């Protein structure tokens, strides 16, 4: 702690020279159970909190510092009440740059399906009606980017694995809770190489680390199997829209490793009329079985883009496992917005969404930005 204080004192004169801005928001977020109580007996709320975000941006010369922290009051007493969402320093040089610290990394092109996006996510946030940005978790990493003429490179290396947050078994009906969880001791690394090829955005992805969500071993212990992935993506104009193609191979290793997997995505986004956009996607996951999932997102804006109605729907073809998320969002002023939406799950008890069919909820988000 003393060392931290000393570091802050050392940095103070520097920050006096730097340009710094402070911003943030105050937010109320509630999700109401519409079918059943939570497994822990909580009748009404899937989520209930007030939250303050503070964001500090400072820059001097080729350096930049960005800190995003949250303080929340959780009425259900089931989550951490302070969180460093992101906190990193950037150094920008001529044809390379460096980012060190907690940062969000997003790869690939899918809309709530993840082919090459191997980085930490918060699935609970998505199912409990929290704003979109909470879908991603930061990773504590060093990111080195280089931009030679022929391609751009992004190398992400983290000394410590950070898992995705899965729905809490006392909040969602996810089946048995973990007896014990074994966390990997080593870190992880990934490389993305990208460039333009004849008007298309092309990228290659390599990752070595661990599966982000736990698997259950035969002794009931949860673990994160070792994982190596390689994949590619292409994005470009096709007809009157944008075509996104993505492919990845997942190879697991270690004790009780899951079978290798191939993931593929084809998506097409278009704007058939003013302020309306439509994204259609087809996602295939293949290991010993093949799962085909169709997805759609339709978004219509009204009132000079201050009112937005959107629907996201995903449906697995062979077993009907499905997820629907309608949302209405309105900006009351330039600083105050609110959203009303629902998370609706359906399907068989073994499907990723079907198992949550008693967790349907209606959510409300209100945010004042400052």
**91 binding another protein? (CB under 8 A):** no
Closest CA to 341 of 127, 66, 38: 127
**Please, which residue, 153 or 230, has the CB nearer to another protein?**
153
Residue 106 binding another protein, by CB under 8 A = yes
Work out whether 369 is an interface residue with another protein (CB under 8 A): yes
CA distances for 90 relative to 100, 238, 344, angstroms = 7, 36, 40
Residues 124, 222, 138, 313, CA torsion sign: negative
Sketch the per residue contact string, 305 through 324, with another protein: x for CB under 8 A, - otherwise. xx------------------
For another protein, the binding residues in 223-242 under the rule CB under 8 A are: 235-237, 240-242
Near another protein by CB under 8 A: residue from 28, 145, 261, 310: 145
56 in contact with another protein (CB under 8 A):
no
88 vs 222 by CB, closer to another protein? 88
* Cα distance between residue 134 and residue 120, in whole Å: 11
> Of the two residues 125 and 356, which places its CB atom closer to another protein in the complex?
125
Residues ≥6 apart with Cβ < 8 Å to 21: 56, 57, 58
Nearest CA among 278, 142, 287, 276 for reference residue 227: 287
Q: Is 103 in the site for another protein (CB under 8 A)?
A: yes
Whether the CB-CB separation of 174 and 355 falls below 8 Å is answered with: yes
Q: Does residue 300 touch another protein according to CB under 8 A?
A: no
Q: Compute the distance between CA of residue 99 and CA of residue 84 in angstroms, rounded to an integer.
A: 16
Neighbours of 134 (CB within 10 A): 20
| Whole-angstrom distance, CA of residue 221 vs CA of residue 183 | 11
Between 31 and 126, CB nearer to another protein: 126
Listed in sequence order, the residues at least 6 apart from 149 whose beta carbon sits closer than 8 Å to its beta carbon are none
Contacting residue, 11, 44, 73, 133, with another protein by CB under 8 A: 133
Taking the complex as a whole, the smallest distance from the CB of residue 272 to another protein amounts, in Å, to: 9
| Most distant CA pair in the chain, distance | 62
Could you say whether residue 333 binds another protein (CB under 8 A)? yes
Question: Restricting to residues 153-192, which ones interact with another protein according to CB under 8 A?
Answer: none
Q: How far is the CB of 228 from another protein (least distance, A)?
A: 23
Please identify which residue in 104, 189, 294, 340 interacts with another protein, judged by CB under 8 A: 104
Judged by CB under 8 A, which stretch of 156-164, 245-253, 266-274, 315-323 contacts another protein? 266-274
Q: Name every residue whose Cβ is closer than 8 Å to that of residue 212 and which is 6 or more positions away in sequence.
A: 118, 119, 120, 121, 163, 164, 224
Among 74, 97, 251, 287, binds another protein (CB under 8 A): 97
Distance between CA atoms of residues 55 and 70, nearest Å: 9
Q: Which residues bind another protein (CB under 8 A)?
A: 23, 25, 59, 90, 92, 97, 103-106, 109, 131-133, 135-136, 145, 147, 152, 194, 199, 201, 235-237, 240-242, 244, 269-271, 273-275, 277, 301, 304-306, 331, 333-335, 337, 367, 369-370
């Amino acid at each position: 702690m003393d060392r931290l204080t000393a570091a802050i004192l050392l940095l103070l004169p520097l920050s006096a020279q730097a340009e710094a801005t402070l911003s943030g928001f105050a937010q109320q977020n509630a999700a109401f159970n519409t079918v059943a109580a939570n497994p822990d007996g909580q009748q009404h709320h899937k989520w209930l909190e007030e939250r303050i975000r503070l964001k500090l941006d400072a820059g001097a010369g080729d350096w930049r510092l960005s800190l995003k922290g949250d303080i929340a009051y959780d009425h259900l007493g089931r989550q951490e009440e302070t969180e460093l969402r992101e906190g990193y320093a950037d150094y920008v040089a001529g044809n390379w740059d460096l980012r060190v610290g907690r940062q969000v990394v997003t790869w690939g092109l899918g809309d709530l399906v993840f082919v090459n996006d191997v980085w930490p996510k918060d699935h609970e946030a998505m199912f409990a009606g929290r704003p979109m940005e909470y879908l991603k978790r930061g990773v504590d990493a060093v990111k080195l980017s280089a931009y030679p003429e022929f391609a751009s490179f992004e190398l992400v290396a983290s000394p410590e694995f950070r898992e995705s947050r899965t729905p809490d078994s006392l909040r969602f009906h996810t089946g048995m809770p973990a007896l014990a969880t074994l966390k990997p001791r080593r870190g992880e690394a990934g490389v993305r190489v990208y460039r333009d090829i004849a008007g298309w955005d092309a990228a290659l992805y390599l990752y070595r680390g661990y599966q982000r969500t736990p698997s259950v071993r035969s002794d009931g212990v949860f673990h994160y199997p070792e994982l190596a992935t390689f994949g590619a993506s292409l994005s470009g104009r096709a007809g009157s829209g944008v075509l996104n193609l993505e492919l990845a191979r997942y190879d697991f290793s270690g004790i009780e490793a899951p079978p290798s997997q191939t993931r593929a995505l084809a998506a097409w986004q278009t704007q058939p009329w003013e302020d309306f956009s439509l994204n259609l996607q087809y996602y295939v996951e293949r290991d010993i079985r093949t799962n085909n999932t169709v997805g759609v997102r339709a978004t219509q804006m009204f009132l000079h883009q201050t009112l937005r109605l959107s629907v996201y729907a995903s449906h697995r073809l062979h077993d009907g496992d499905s997820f629907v998320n309608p949302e209405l969002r309105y900006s009351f002023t330039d600083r105050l917005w609110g959203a009303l939406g629902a998370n609706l799950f359906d399907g068989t008890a073994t499907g990723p969404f079907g198992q949550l069919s008693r967790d349907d909820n209606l959510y409300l988000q209100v945010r004042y930005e400052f």
